[in-house]
Chain A
Amino acid sequence: MLPDLHRTKEDLNLWLKAFFAARLKTHMGAFGESPKETLQEGHGTAIVRPDGTVDRTSMRRASGESTVRNESIKAGDLGAVLKSLDEAAQQMGRQIAAHAYKEISDAADRVGNTVSTNGFTADGFLAALEVILVPFTKDGEPIWPQCHIPPSLAESAKTALETVANDPTYARRFAELKQEKRKEWDAREAGRRLAG
């Protein structure tokens, strides 16, 4: 073999892997912030709902491909290596995010939580909030869900949210909705049975 430094290279490789993981997290968008768990065995996960239904999620492959030219390695061009890793992370991140959105969409369709509107409107926004469970903190503050909007709807979403915040009619409807959600949450908490 030609001269090499195995242990040093292992450390450097760990650093490159950490870089890749960080870039993957960025390219997964909001899903990059979601908690992660390693599956030690099996081929998927399952959620058992309170009504006894089982929601299964299978494993999906996400892959990315990129090229580093030999010349870049020879020249010690770290920038080229990092750019290549970032490209692969971007491809994988997009696949994972697209898959996650599809799973959420399918799950919402299955339980009838889908609200169809013509664009992002104030009415559509309130209608969407009506069909979802909103948890509350011990101090009574609502924990609102994240809202993911494609770039094409960004402007109309901004206008709709301003309407909900500033228009007295919508603001009142929103306040009522918040109280309703609080009642729903309290009822749910009161009805919980302790395990064991």
Chain B
Amino acid sequence: MLERLVEGWLDSASERSYQSPFCQALLAKGHRVIHSTRHAPLELGKDVVSIDSEGRYFGYQLKGSPGARLTLTEFRTIREQLHELATQPLRVPGSRVPRHTSVLVTNGYVDEEVQIAIQEMNQALRRQRAIGYPLKIIQRGDLLDDFLKLGASLWPSELEDLDTLLRLLNVHGRDALNISDFASLMEQLLALNDSASRPSQGELERRVTSASLLVAFVLRAHAREENHVARLQAWTLFFVQVVGAYARWNHKPRSRIGAALDIARYECFRSIRELFEEAASRERWIEQPATADVFLYRWREALTSGLLSAYWLIGQRAGGLSEEDSARLREVIPERLQVDLWGEAAIPQLLGKL
């Protein structure tokens, strides 16, 4: 059943949705992920860059073709990007410019005609001794194998857990994350519940990978709606619970776990950044249907302001926020909040704003 669920998720995931699980899978296979971002001009055509355990470099270009085929027509539209991927060197610290293997990753099937076109492209790349030769393909079946082996095979599978999992999946993407259900699954997976026995270092590492895939899986509906806050909540909870699990069992996190947490941290910042961009682009923060929003507007305003204030504060302390962003944030966050102290959860939001 879990296999079918994961298959369903992969067949509906955009490239953004499966980028983090893909990176986590690379980590589990012994790679170091040295770059993972989207639309950054610094790494031409490369969404992800990794180094395997033998020191070989890989540059990946991710494409979302959920449940569909990558046809020759579509391939022609990305051919230029793939050429950049295979011919532009990686920018890595140090003077050496490493050769790399280029990889086209898609969650769809690759048409035979495309495979032939890639073979021809590879012949040309070999002749010109391109720095990113050869160009390889990772497609739906490969991704599914990895996600099942590294992720779903460790997920809790008792009837009660499946019930919780289905409840988490059966939500509207515009709804908040069901934190209680989500935390309960993660606690089991990361051996944080009362009845858990001590996992070995390796076992806990495998569980962290599996948990990170669960995060992406559970966020399926929220990803479709670009629900930034649900994504932020899930990755924050993942981060805290992984740290908690290592503290509880007194294991020292190795670099692989540090990298997994880095990806989670990156997802948190990406979510809050996107929330900021959306809040800044909107003339009003009212969500439809507007009449029912009369009950929720102040809650949304307090929560959004609190999160953006936290983002500003972290940016000030860590120095990662540009002057321009800092000024824009000050403009976006309402100067005066209409305070609705609807419960204790509202207090941090209001304090954040203060």
Binding site for B on A (CB under 8 A): 1-9, 12-13, 16, 68, 70, 72-78, 80-81, 84-85
Contacts and interface: CB of A to CB of B under 8 A. Distances in A.
B338 A9 contact: no
B291 A1 contact: no
B320 to A, nearest CB: 23
B284 A16 contact: no
The 7 closest A-B pairs by CB, nearest first: A6-B174, A6-B172, A12-B292, A6-B175, A13-B292, A3-B229, A9-B292
Contacts of A75: 338
B292 A1 contact: no
Contacts of A68: 290-291, 294
A78 B294 contact: yes
Contacts of B278: 1-2
Contacts of B294: 68, 72-73, 76-78, 80-81
Contacts, number: 86
Interface of B: 172-176, 225-229, 275, 278-279, 282, 284-287, 289-301, 303-304, 338, 340
B307 to A, nearest CB: 8
Q: Which of B176, B290, B294 has the most CB of A within 10 A?
A: B294
B172 A76 contact: no
Contacts of B300: 2-4
A40 to B, nearest CB: 25
A23 B208 CA distance: 56
Contact of A76 (B229, B287, B295): B295
A4 B289 CA distance: 11
B297 A1 contact: no
B174 A4 contact: yes
A2 B340 contact: no
**What is the interface of chain B mostly: helix, strand, loop, or mixed?**
loop
A9 B284 contact: no
Contacts of B340: 76
Contacts of A7: 172, 175
Given A2-B275, A6-B174, A81-B294, A74 B287 contact: no
B297 A73 contact: yes
17 contacts: A1-B226, A1-B278, A2-B275, A3-B299, A3-B304, A5-B175, A9-B289, A9-B293, A13-B289, A70-B284, A73-B294, A74-B298, A75-B338, A76-B298, A76-B338, A78-B294, A81-B294
Contacts of B275: 2
Contacts of A16: 291-292
Given A1-B278, A76-B294, A70 B225 contact: no
Q: Which of A4, A13, A78, A80 has the most CB of B within 10 A?
A: A4
Contact of B287 (A1, A77, A80): A1
B225 A1 contact: yes
Contacts of B173: 6
A9 B292 CA distance: 6
A13 B285 contact: no
Nearest to B225: A1
Contacts of B229: 3
A70 B286 contact: yes
